[in-house]
Amino acid sequence: MKQRDFFKPGRSVAIADKGMAATSHPLATLAALDILRAGGSAVDAAVAAVALQSVIDPLMTGIGGDCFALYCPAGGTPIALNGSGRSPKAANLAYYLERGFTSIPDDSAHAVTIPGAIDAWCRLVASHGALDMARVLAPAIAAAEDGYVVTPRVAHDWERHSERVAKHPESAAYFLPNGRAPAVGARVTNTALAATLRSVARDGRDGFYKGTVAEEIASVLKSLGGLHDEDDFASYNAFETTPISGKYRGRDLFECPPNGQGLAALLITRILDGFDLRDLKLSEADRIHLLAEATKAGYARRDQLISDPQHITFDIDELLSDHSIDAMRREISLERAAPASVWDAPTHKDTVYVSVVDRDGNAVSLINSVFMPFGSGIYAPRSGVLLQNRGAGFVVRQGHANAIGSCKLPFHTIIPAMVMEGGKTQMSFGVMGGQYQACGHAHMLSQIFDRDLDPQQASDQPRSFSFGGRLALEPTIAEEVKSDLDRRGHVTEWADEPIGGAQAIFIDHERGVLLGSSDHRKDGIALGY
């Protein structure tokens, strides 16, 4: 890997030889590191970090959201955990068609699926943890009860998206004190959320899915027209499943299977694997163009096919087969942009991602989200729970695989990832940014394995994203590159905010060291010991 230029602004890759954590918030990283140093496992540390971030970065994630994880024990093979939420039992497609719905409003109770995060965390800790849930949740409980200070990126996003909670009186009363988003350095508490977390620490998943917390959330949603009842909460279960994988530069990229979009990441990387991206003759515009074209091809299949795994009608292995990928690759011209389909569903931009490797070499890649900024904007004040709006990703259309239905999982954008080589975990990583994530996985892999960059350098590189008929470019990309892409037929635009964020931990087995990164586009940091 190339050494960074110390004359240029930036940060060095984190280096350690025992354990490491990488998150998008410094306090979450510190909490994870404390757990590791106290003898906790990678899973204990990851759940401690994401639980804390659910308190201190409330518009990006929370216990009212969902969770996906990949876990790989040292010397083992990865397993996947699906902690995404189901629609209520009463939510059948006919209900919405009869009432004239053409989509699920993203700020309505109908957009709220049963939150899956808490059950996923409890299952992970019970199966792969070394500490009890009370110790794991202690940092989050302390932050909610005693307060925390708002960091710069959190404050920026809170203010930028404050209208999402302003329209809900209970939400506005808590999230917009004195009618405004908290400023950088403001101190915030949430004693109601602390009490809910204490309930989970004491009673496990039942502390959330049964009793007073579930009763209040169901009641709040019913009052807003939702179809939820307490049985929907009590019957919810996250579930373990087998990851899907594909080759990139001789390595195995592992992703969670549908209902997440990990399949799209595999399609994009498999397509790019057929191009020599190490070729020094390729310009920056060439690389951006090829990523954009592979993304279009991968996302077109994604949008048509991905849904609740029980409703999938296609063969994943066939879609990822050589002849299928070759056919997609042949459609790509280096000189001409292909037409792009226009996305007509909600656009998701926000989440948090955590990567942890412990002293034994166990690795976890975990992602947690409330979907849009502040999710649905609906808040259960006695429980301190802000509710996701992942159900806005359902389609209200007869015959579509992702059509809303009873107890159904919607299409999901959040995807953790893991790379293995020679039967060993080589990298635990993830990219935040909603729709961008699958494209972002491919970009990170190419920067590391095609350009020999370390994970921090790879994360620092300028980003682009072809989506919805337009090619967004971060303004750190040169004007002449933009003009070149316009010439090829792309409809380019300068991104109005940073594209995504990323965390990664690379395991150098030969030297026995860990290399970690956390995106400069967020507040976070990677630290090890």
Q: For 18-35, what is each residue's pLDDT tens digit?
A: 999 999 999 999 999 999
The mean pLDDT of 99-108, rounded to a whole number, is 95
The mean pLDDT of 99-112, rounded to a whole number, is 96
The mean pLDDT of 248-266, rounded to a whole number, is 95
| Partner residues linked to 260 by β-bridges | 412
Percentage with pLDDT > 70 across the chain? 98
What distance in Å separates the CA atoms of residue 453 and residue 315, rounded to the nearest whole number? 35
The mean pLDDT of 458-470, rounded to a whole number, is 95
Lookup: tokens for 389: 């709006």
Residues 6+ away with beta carbon under 8 Å from 394:
87, 104, 402, 403, 404, 408, 410, 411
3-state secondary structure of 29: helix
Query: Is 181's pLDDT higher than 90?
Result: yes
Q: Please choose, from the candidates 199, 196, 156, 192, the residue with its C-alpha nearest in 3D space to the C-alpha of residue 173.
A: 192
Q: What is the pTM of this model?
A: 0.94
The mean pLDDT of 367-393, rounded to a whole number, is 96
What distance in Å separates the CA atoms of residue 119 and residue 133, rounded to the nearest whole number? 12
CA distances from 133 to 33, 82, 284, 377 (A): 16, 19, 48, 28
pLDDT band at 341 (very low <50, low <70, confident <90, very high): low
Q: What is the pLDDT of residue 201?
A: 98
Does the annotation count 61 as an active-site position? no
What distance in Å separates the CA atoms of residue 352 and residue 414, rounded to the nearest whole number? 9
pLDDT single digits (tens) 381-437:
999 999 999 999 899 999 888 999 999 999 888 999 999 999 999 999 999 987 899
Percentage with pLDDT > 90 across the chain? 88
Which domains does the chain show, CATH number per domain?
18-64+77-236+376-393 (no CATH), 241-347+415-528 (3.60.20.40)
Question: Is residue 412 within 8 Å of 66, Cβ to Cβ?
Answer: yes
Q: What is the pLDDT of residue 348?
A: 47
pLDDT band at 350 (very low <50, low <70, confident <90, very high): low
Question: Is residue 307 within 8 Å of 259, Cβ to Cβ?
Answer: yes
What distance in Å separates the CA atoms of residue 261 and residue 369, rounded to the nearest whole number? 14
Lookup: tokens for 308: 């609740």
Catalytic residue among 23, 351, 413, 492: 351
What distance in Å separates the CA atoms of residue 63 and residue 67, rounded to the nearest whole number? 9
Q: Please choose, from the candidates 125, 70, 33, 128, the residue with its C-alpha nearest in 3D space to the C-alpha of residue 425.
A: 70
Alpha-carbon Rg of the chain, whole angstroms?
A: 22
pLDDT single digits (tens) 285-309:
999 999 999 999 999 888 777 777 8
Lookup: tokens for 406: 């009873």
The mean pLDDT of 8-19, rounded to a whole number, is 93
Query: Is 346's pLDDT higher than 70?
Result: no
One DSSP character per residue, 227-285 reads ---HHHHHT---EEE--EEEEETTEEEEEPPTTBTHHHHHHHHHHHTTS-TT-TT--HH
Residues 6+ away with beta carbon under 8 Å from 98:
none
- Measured in whole angstroms, how far is the alpha carbon of residue 421 from the centre of its chain? 24
Half-sphere exposure of 382 (CA within 13 A, CB side): 11
Lookup: tokens for 338: 């292909």
| Partner residues linked to 419 by β-bridges | 253, 427
Q: Please choose, from the candidates 425, 390, 428, 422, the residue with its C-alpha nearest in 3D space to the C-alpha of residue 409.
A: 390
What distance in Å separates the CA atoms of residue 366 and residue 48, rounded to the nearest whole number? 11
The mean pLDDT of 33-61, rounded to a whole number, is 97
pLDDT band at 349 (very low <50, low <70, confident <90, very high): low
CA distances from 21 to 26, 27, 412, 501, 513 (A): 10, 11, 25, 15, 13
Query: Is 284's pLDDT higher than 90?
Result: yes
Question: Is residue 124 within 8 Å of 47, Cβ to Cβ?
Answer: yes
What distance in Å separates the CA atoms of residue 369 and residue 228, rounded to the nearest whole number? 20
